[in-house]
Amino acid sequence: MGLWDSFEDVRGQQEVAQTGKRKYVCVTGNWSLLASWLVRALLEKGYNVRSTIRTTVDEAAALMALPGAEQRLELTQADMLDYGSLVEVFMGCDGVFHTSSPSDLVSNYPSEMADFEVRGTLNIVEACANSSVKRLVLTSSLAAMVWDQQRHADKVIDEKCWSNMDFCRSKKLWGPLAKTMAEKAAWSLARDKELDMVVINPAIVLGPKVFGTTQCIFTYLKGVKELPQSGLFAYAHVEDVAKAHISALEVSDASGRYICYESVVSEEKLVGLIRKLYPDSSVPSRFSKNGIPHVLSNDKLKSLGLALHAEQKLL
C-alpha cells in the first residue's frame, strides 16, 4: 500500500468518525456500471464495504485494486433467492444497497426474469428487516414511473407516478413491468416489516466505466423497438446516481422515492445526436421527429443537496 493510499484510508476513517456516517455497508445485485461506481464511491468516503455483486475474475481484481479496497472491501457471494445467505451477509451492516440494474429502454429483457426480480427483491427486504440493517437503499428505475398511456403529456412525472402494469404487459415491456412489480412488492413488504427503505429511480445511466470504456447513449439504442411514450428519453451521469444512493443512506430524513436524471432528450434531438456522433450509422426509422417529451421533476432529489453534471459530460 502506497503512502497516498494510506493517507486516503486514514482520512476516510476519520471522516466517518467525525460525522457519524454508517461505516459498514453491503452492495448487492448484478455487475453493472452503477454497482462498480457505488463500490468505488463508498470506499472513497471511508466505508467498509461488503459486496455480493457477481463479477468475473478480472472485474474482481479491478475492484480490489481500487484505493482502500485492500483494507475495506470484502468480496463475497450471496444468492438473492436464498434468504439465509442474505441474512448472513447483512449481519453487521448498517446499510444495504440493492443495485439491480435499472431498466430503461432495453427491449431484450426476458419475460421470465420479472418473477425472479420480484422474488429476489422481496428476499432482500425480508433479510434486511431481520438483520442489523438500519436502512435499505433500493435501485428501481424511472421505467417504473413513465409507462402509462392514460397520463396526459402535460402532467409532470414525479415520485407519485407509477407505470401501468396492464399497459406494460400489452406492449410486452417486460423490463418496466418487472421494475414496477418489484418496487411495489418491496414497498408493501417494507411497510409491513417496518423497514426503513429509500428508493432511487434513475433514468438511463451513462458515463465512464470504472474499468474500461465509456457507456454512451448509442449503447442503449441498439435493439430498442420504440421510445417511451411521447419521446421521453432521460438520462443521468453514473457518478450522480451513485452519489444519490449514498445520500439516500446518509441523510437521516430521506424517505420514499427519488427520481434521478440530468436531462431529457426529445426524439428530434436524439436523432440529431445520433447523426452527429455516429455519422456512419443509420438512424432507426422507428424514431420519429414528433415526440413531445413529458415533463419530469427531480426537485425532491435536489433537496438532498446533489449538484448534477453538465450535459456535455454524458454524451
Residues noted as catalytic? 179
Four-CA torsion 58, 60, 62, 67, nearest 10 degrees: -170
- Tell me the C-alpha to C-alpha distance, in Å, between residue 93 and each of 52, 58, 89: 13, 26, 8
Q: How far apart are CA 249 and CA 271, in angstroms?
A: 38
Beta-carbon contacts of residue 313 (< 8 Å; ≥ 6 apart): 207, 237
**What totals of helices (H) and strands (E) does the chain contain, helices first?**
12, 13
DSSP 252: T
DSSP 220: G
**291 neighbors 230 (Cβ within 8 angstroms):** yes
Q: How far apart are CA 55 and CA 139, in angstroms?
A: 19
- Tell me the C-alpha to C-alpha distance, in Å, between residue 99 and each of 45, 107, 137, 149, 195: 18, 20, 8, 28, 18
Rg over alpha carbons for the chain, rounded to the nearest Å, is 19
Locate the DSSP E strands across the chain.
24-28, 48-51, 73-75, 95-98, 135-139, 156-157, 197-202, 204-208, 214-215, 233-237, 256-260, 263-265, 295-296
Residue 105: name the closest of 65, 135, 56, 146 by CA.
146
Residue 3, SS3 per DSSP = helix
